[in-house]
Amino acid sequence: MAPIKLAIIGAGPSSFYVASRLLASLPPSSPYHSALRIHMYDRLWAPHGLVRYGVAPDHPEVKNCVHKFDAAATDPRLRFFGNVNVVASPPVVPLPQSTELPLSTLFSNYTHLLLSSGCSLPLLHPALPPSDHCVPALSLVHWYTRHPSVAHKPPPPLEKLEHISIIGQGNVSLDVARMLLTPPSTLEKYDIPEPVLDVLRRSAVKHVSIIGRRGPLEAAFTTKELREMMNLEDASMEPIDPSLLVVPEGAKLTRQQSRTMQLLQKGSRNKPGTTPKSWSLDFFRSPTGLAPPNSASSSLTRPYTLSLAHNTLSADKKAIPTGETSTLRTSMVVTSLGHQAEPSIPWYDPDLRHVRTVGGRVVDETGRTVKGVYASGWAAMGARGVLASTMIDAYAVADTILADSFPDQIRRENDALASAAGDGSLGELSEVLANKVDLEGIPEEVNKAMASGDVTDYRDWKMIDEEEIRRGEKLGKERERMDWEEARAFLEHARMS
């Protein structure tokens, strides 16, 4: 009986959903129970990916899934190794504190591989190159979630900024806008680090423009996020041109579109002009450039000029320019246009901007299935979907792994997994993984890094988790996050005591 010794690259929600499904599908009563080992590697020292470093701090309910992840991690067949960056080529975003582990090392130590590292790079706008005055939304999200990649970078100079323009009308755009417009006294009970709150308390931001190339029916944000914006306590929405809120004759709206239009027609809880801060939804606008102020001064207090092309919709709902233009004076532009996987990830497809897969199985550039190699979550599908869809996809990939590995037994025991196996034909195969491995062994590089305290395991994480919560309780908040230096010092002290 050949075992499954699975290496998972990434420790976000999709990784844990796949792991928990595999573990639950091979319980002690299964003849394959002892034939499963899962080693989960993440380049960050803390697990849970976007749940820790992407979910808006004022949405704590979204993080409830970590209880399921904690339960999976109690199974001795699963091990987590944090601060290990698995690389096939030099990463786009290196992390100095992480141990680099060559992908080839995984090939020789594991029988199965799951790529589940998400989409970690922001998509940029061709007319808006990054600068001090134009930043991706991801940099702000990483700042207010204390992501290790921004540990030594300065915070955004909010005390010098009055007007911020966000390009893109998805949920991340509204998250960023909400963080900028919500009073710090309201935010301070949530999982927001004290240094972040200090910056927000000094913020001079008075208005946030949220700009989209199409209309309200095409906006990507959810009604839940829009409703939260409408109910901001210290901010109000500027009026929208009523003509934009008229539903085209004969249009059949989805439930979400209907609710969105109702909310927009009703407007914000606070009437325009009655609050110290404001925000707007600017539809049918596309940025074409960002010009500095005429003065030679480089002061951030001097507004830049954002040029905008006006759009209309084609028959197939694409934005097309009308020829009209306008400008907007703004202190900073934040681009929120989606994300892509790092090009250094194995089997990356530049056209898809993520890994090439068919039914969860990775395929190479010639179309051959790579035996024993799978991908799940955003690494496989691109940056779309919510946690519920991530879970469904992850479960399907786990079922495929089991069906490919134990087809005869799985067909007898579980009709759902038998369906995942299909006819058992994987087409032409490419092989990169080992056939025989030490089921309990871990790569030598990881062993050495663990001995020196450079790599974390799940027990380390739970001690840090409990300490962050304890520190937060003293401050009257959900938790107070540590950076890596603090976490490492805490772990060293805890191990000695």
In tens, the pLDDT along 239-265 reads: 999 999 999 888 899 999 999 999 999
The secondary structure of the chain in percent helix, strand, coil, rounded to multiples of 5, reads: 35, 20, 40
Q: What is the mean pLDDT of the chain?
A: 93
Mean pLDDT over residues 368-372, rounded? 94
Residue type, 445: E
Q: What's the Cα-to-Cα distance from 479 to each of 146, 179, 359, 379, rounded to whole Å?
A: 12, 17, 39, 29
Nearest to 383 by CA among 138, 125, 80, 89: 138
pLDDT for position 4: 96
Mean pLDDT over residues 163-184, rounded? 98
Which pLDDT tens digit goes with each residue over 22-74? 999 999 999 999 999 999 999 999 999 999 999 999 999 999 999 999 999 99
DSSP assigned state of 468 = H
- For the purposes of burial, counting CB atoms within 10 Å of the CB of 430, is it exposed (0-12), middle (13-18) or buried (19 or more)? middle
Which pLDDT tens digit goes with each residue over 181-200? 999 999 999 999 999 999 99
Q: Where are the domains of the chain?
A: 4-120+340-456, 124-337
Q: Grade residue 427 by pLDDT with cuts at 50, 70 and 90.
A: low
Q: Grade residue 409 by pLDDT with cuts at 50, 70 and 90.
A: low
Rounded to whole angstroms, how far apart are CA atoms 198 and 191? 14
One fold for both 4-120+340-456 and 124-337?
no
Share of the chain above pLDDT 90, in %: 86
3-state secondary structure of 56: coil
pLDDT for position 294: 79
Q: How many helices (H) and strands (E) does the chain have?
A: 17, 23
H-helix segments, 239-371: 255-266
Residue type, 275: T
Tokens representing residue 135 in the block: 């930043």
Q: Grade residue 422 by pLDDT with cuts at 50, 70 and 90.
A: very low
CB 316 within 8 A of CB 177: no
Tokens representing residue 49 in the block: 């990916």
Tokens representing residue 269 in the block: 């809880």
Residue 361, H or E segment: strand 361-363
Rounded to whole angstroms, how far apart are CA atoms 195 and 146? 9
pLDDT at 479 over 70: yes
Range 124-337: architecture per CATH:
3-Layer(bba) Sandwich (3.50)
Neighbours of 200 (CB within 10 A): 23
Q: Grade residue 142 by pLDDT with cuts at 50, 70 and 90.
A: very high
Which pLDDT tens digit goes with each residue over 115-135? 999 999 999 999 999 999 999
- Taking each helix axis from N to C terminus, what angle separates 387-405 and 13-25, rounded to the nearest 10 degrees? 40
Query: Per DSSP, what are the bridge partners of residue 167?
Result: 211, 335
Tokens representing residue 131 in the block: 């600068």
CATH of domain 4-120+340-456: 3.40.50.720
The CA R_g of the chain, rounded to the nearest whole Å, is 24
**Chain position carrying tokens 């879970």:** 391
